[in-house]
Chain A
Amino acid sequence: GAVVSQHPSWVICKSGTSVKIECRSLDFQATTMFWYRQFPKQSLMLMATSNEGSKATYEQGVEKDKFLINHASLTLSTLTVTSAHPEDSSFYICSARDRGLGGANVLTFGAGSRLTVL
């Protein structure tokens, strides 16, 4: 089946530094990937839609200059949290569509990346 790999699975960084999270579709091509954020005891919140070869689309309230998304190939999207602060500490999850699985709304999710900003 479709597999989405995220790296790193967890990262600790100092306030003010930038952190890059990678999301790869391992056995399928994904023209569109989605980035979610999840705070403790809350549901997933869609942050942005990553489109291969074009600019990402951000949800309302998500700062595009803070959360840089690059989707340079059909199998890789990256999320960079720039100048991270403690309030950015969260669980970041990416997902992608493998249309062969049964439709546009069947998403495969990565295992998530837990970011802790000190």
Chain B
Amino acid sequence: DAKTTQPPSMDCAEGRAANLPCNHSTISGNEYVYWYRQIHSQGPQYIIHGLKNNETNEMASLIITEDRKSSTLILPHATLRDTAVYYCIVRVEGGGADGLTFGKGTHLIIQP
């Protein structure tokens, strides 16, 4: 799996868009970008994933640069409940039988 780099922490005002960056400069052509988040003392939650096109679902949008070396997760209208650690993971679609490897992620704090 390609290595990812995320800022350790970010603040965002409630109601504003939260933009979480992730660098994955060594990503290979068949690797997807996955985002998960973990609210304090809970299990992680899947958010979204993509290969090269931008993706949007009810939770967030994922913007992947044209060269695929970085991506941004966007929470359009952040609420206090979005305070969590957000993990960016790069992995081939099949993934084999292996579990996901989590890095340190970004601790997003939504300020009232």
Residues on A lying within 8 angstroms of B by beta carbon are 4, 6, 32, 34, 36, 43-46, 49, 51, 57, 91, 93, 95, 101-112, 114
Give the residue among B41, B96, B105 with the most A Cβ atoms within 10 A.
B41
Contact assessment for A109 and B98 in the assembled complex, using a CB-CB cutoff below 8 Å: no
Count of B residues near A, CB < 8 Å? 28
Task: Name A4's closest neighbour in chain B (CB-CB).
Answer: B43
A110: contacting residue among B32, B43, B93, CB under 8 A: B43
Per-position 1/0 for B53-79, Cβ under 8 A of A: 000000000000000000000000000
Whether B98 pairs with A111 at a CB distance below 8 angstroms is no
Task: Jot down 27 A-B pairs with beta carbons below 8 A, ordered by A.
Answer: A4-B43, A34-B100, A36-B99, A43-B87, A43-B104, A44-B38, A46-B100, A49-B98, A51-B97, A93-B43, A95-B44, A95-B99, A103-B32, A103-B93, A104-B93, A104-B94, A105-B49, A105-B91, A105-B95, A106-B34, A106-B46, A106-B49, A107-B100, A108-B46, A109-B43, A109-B44, A114-B41
List of 6 A-B pairs having minimum Cβ-Cβ separation, nearest first: A109-B43, A34-B99, A104-B95, A44-B102, A46-B99, A105-B95
